[in-house]
Amino acid sequence: MVNNKLLLVTLVGSVLFGCTGCREASEKQYGANQSNTELLKASPDTHLILNHKASTSSRDNKERQINSVKKMIKGNSLPTRSVVHKPSKPVRGIYVSGWIAGSKKRLDQLLALMDKTDLNTMVIDVKNDYGKLTYRSNLAQIQSIGADSNPVIADIQQLISRLKEKNIYVIGRIVTFKDPLYARNYPAMALQAKSGGVWHDSQGHAWLDPYQPGVHFYNQAIAKEAAEFGFDEIQFDYVRFPDNGAKVDKEVQYYARNNKTKAEIIGVFLHNARESVHAAGARISADVFGLVTSADNDMGIGQTWRTVTSSVDVISPMIYPSHYSEGMYGVRQPDLNPAAIIKHAMKDAQQRNAVIQKEGRQRPAEIRPWLQSFTATWIHPHQRYNAEQVLKQVEAVKAQGIKQYLLWSSNCKYDYHS
């Protein structure tokens, strides 16, 4: 059974120590008004420093944060798995939204696709882009803000059991710091505008402040419970600060930073989440922007390759060809030449992992890229991404010695042959 006292000590100790389609069209990787080259110059490189010093903050909300942790761990306890197992075969998966996972007809269609191809993994929404859980939670704080109201998945444990009976590896996706629902209920935990009130991005969405310990607790508790429900792996998406970081920094007042950079606080979150999720018997992965494979800095969003790959079991760069600017890697029209983009991005990623491996201080994460399985109609020129374009990406990944990959389509429609 879950040791609630141990969980409370672990989470409280961290205080003392310091829209599904958005990935395709809305953000366009880093914002359409910034070139890839400009973003590579956004901010200095940072390394993860896990130097947990006692915080001297006397913010009035610290007690409320700790009380929130106590509320979160109340409820029905679930059996905890003690061993973390790596998948027996290379992971080759597809994204499945909560709506699709909860629809028998659509889920059956995807299972039929998996039966006739080499696909063996589903990445299913746990917490979506709006902060809603896709299933009922036992966590008191989730229930109190209605984050699990009207769930689209009727019985998450039954669903996971069904998938595992078919030898499908099940990954739970958590949209981390982009969370309008939690921000609306706990505005003090959201990014604060210097002009007053909660800050909102260009789409009108509020983001949580990664410097807030309570924000860490909230997402880590969701991740731990998901692992206890049976997910094989927990994947953190939007585990970053908002894009266009230089502009955001001018508009936002961050919570007590305690001399930690953006990349360092992202690393602290992932490091602590890994310990919690591992204790529940699951692996941990994180999604990063595609340019993180080559950037020499955190691009203002708090993601560096070294920090993330050192803090998780699997790192998943979103290397969608359509999201690279013209001329990147010497490729004039990236969307029309997917193999070239994939080749260069994977070479950069492997070289960075090799450097860390050689240093011997940390073991880098496995590389499992997200590949484009959608058509980027908003760029010109573009091409329709069907089975041929997907296969070119897969072949480019395999040519670099990487055997695992994930396919992204926000509508969960896949044209794939193996």
For position 64, what pLDDT does the model report? 58
**Measured between alpha carbons, how far is 143 from 157 in angstroms, rounded to an integer?**
18
Confidence band of 130 (pLDDT split at 50, 70, 90): very high
Q: Which residue(s) pair with 198 in the sheet?
A: 192
Percentage of the chain surpassing pLDDT 70?
A: 80
Confidence band of 57 (pLDDT split at 50, 70, 90): very low
Residue 358 has pLDDT above 60, yes or no: yes
Confidence band of 24 (pLDDT split at 50, 70, 90): low
- Which two tokens mark 239? 């585990």
Asked whether the beta carbons of 287 and 239 are under 8 A apart, the reply is yes
Q: What is the CATH number of domain 19-44+91-408?
A: 3.20.20.80
Asked whether the beta carbons of 217 and 14 are under 8 A apart, the reply is yes
**Measured between alpha carbons, how far is 194 from 378 in angstroms, rounded to an integer?**
33
Phi/psi for 162 (5° steps) reads -60, -45
Domain ranges of the chain: 19-44+91-408
Asked whether the beta carbons of 218 and 185 are under 8 A apart, the reply is no
Mean confidence (pLDDT) of the chain: 86
For position 82, what pLDDT does the model report? 55
Residues contacting 386, CB < 8 A, separation 6+? 415
Q: Taking phi first (over 0 means left), then psi (-120 to 50 degrees means alpha), and beta for anything else, what does residue 121 get?
A: beta
For position 70, what pLDDT does the model report? 44
Asked whether the beta carbons of 37 and 296 are under 8 A apart, the reply is no
**Measured between alpha carbons, how far is 302 from 263 in angstroms, rounded to an integer?**
4
Report CA 129 to chain centroid distance, whole Å: 11
Overall average pLDDT of the 320-330 stretch = 95
Q: 347-363 b/e with 16+ CB inside 10 Å = b? A: ebbbebbeebeeeeeee
**Helix H or strand E segment including 6:** helix 4-16
Residue 256 has pLDDT above 60, yes or no: yes
How many CB atoms neighbour CB 16 within 10 A?
A: 13
For 176-222, write each residue's pLDDT tens digit: 999 999 999 999 999 999 999 999 999 999 999 999 999 999 999 99
Look up the pTM and report it: 0.84
Asked whether the beta carbons of 135 and 156 are under 8 A apart, the reply is yes
**Measured between alpha carbons, how far is 316 from 288 in angstroms, rounded to an integer?**
6
Torsion of CA 374, 299, 180, 235, to 10 degrees: 60
Alpha helices in 36-179 (DSSP H): 36-39, 61-72, 98-101, 104-115, 140-144, 156-165
